[in-house]
Amino acid sequence: MILGLGIDLVQIDAFGAQLDDAASHFTRATFTEGEVAYARSAPSGEPARHLAARYAAKEAAVKALDLACARAGIDAPRLSLNAIEVVCDERGRPRLELYGAAAELATRLGADRTWVSLSHDGPSAVATVLMERLA
């Protein structure tokens, strides 16, 4: 059973400028150390491209959780984006790890599985997240 679906689109250049703002704590407040390390080590040499896709996935996950809350009649809490992590499996496919309030909410909603798809091309990065209950 599909509980929630979210999609988000990010403009990479504008996003990269936000990442480059040394006075901002945006990167530390939004991404895990693992996500930043992955983006910096990516063969493309364009960390902003990879972080933009991960940011889109985090926003899409929040939208999917919000939709699931609405369907369940639950007030959706405000979630910290660094409680949602995009990691890669052994074949390089992205998946989500949820922590803290995000994990608690997913458990409360009965979300047994999340699906994530990332893409970046030209000036944009996009992500789609689906939350599913198996039983």
More confident residue, 135 or 29: 29
**Whether the predicted model's global pTM rises above the 0.85 cut:** yes
Give per-residue pLDDT as tens, 33-77: 999 999 999 888 889 999 999 999 999 999 999 999 999 999 989
State how far the Cα of 82 lies from the Cα of 103, in Å rounded to an integer.
12
Q: What is the pLDDT of residue 11?
A: 95
With CA atoms as reference, report the closest residue to 55 among 82, 78, 91: 82
State how far the Cα of 10 lies from the Cα of 117, in Å rounded to an integer.
14
Domains and CATH numbers, the chain: 2-132 (3.90.470.20)
DSSP result, 63-77: HHHHHHHHHHT-PPP
Beta strands in 12-123 (DSSP E): 84-88, 94-98, 113-121
Q: What is the pLDDT of residue 33?
A: 93
